[in-house]
Amino acid sequence: MTSGSIFSVNDVSGIPSIDVNADGTVRICQYYGDLKVGSGQSQGVVLTSPNGTEYRLVVSDAGVLSTVAV
């Protein structure tokens, strides 16, 4: 398969919350507008740099975005 949805998770009303396409595109909460992740400094989105170092995105109470190595 080279196109179309290959994996999907729907909410109770049938609206996709997570959808993975055959081309590698991942859509999360595309019909809701907001994606909320974590509630503290130890939870959130972790990104991996080209050298393999992992960084967690952190936002301060003032709304400043920074990273922390994990």
* Statement to judge: residues 53 and 28 lie in one domain: no
| Entry pTM | 0.53
The per-residue pLDDT for range 29-42, each reduced to its tens digit, is 777 777 677 666 67
Q: How many helices (H) and strands (E) does the chain have?
A: 0, 6
Using the Cα atoms of residue 57, residue 61, residue 62 and residue 63 in order, give the sign of their dihedral: positive
Domain that holds residue 31: 1-35
* Statement to judge: residues 22 and 48 lie in one domain: no
* Statement to judge: residues 26 and 46 lie in one domain: no
Look at the chain and report how many structural domains it folds into.
2
DSSP-assigned letter for residue 16: E
pLDDT digit of tens for each residue in the chain (70 aa)?
567 888 888 888 888 788 888 887 888 877 777 767 766 667 778 899 999 999 998 888 899 999 999 9
* Statement to judge: residues 30 and 58 lie in one domain: no
* Statement to judge: residues 23 and 53 lie in one domain: no
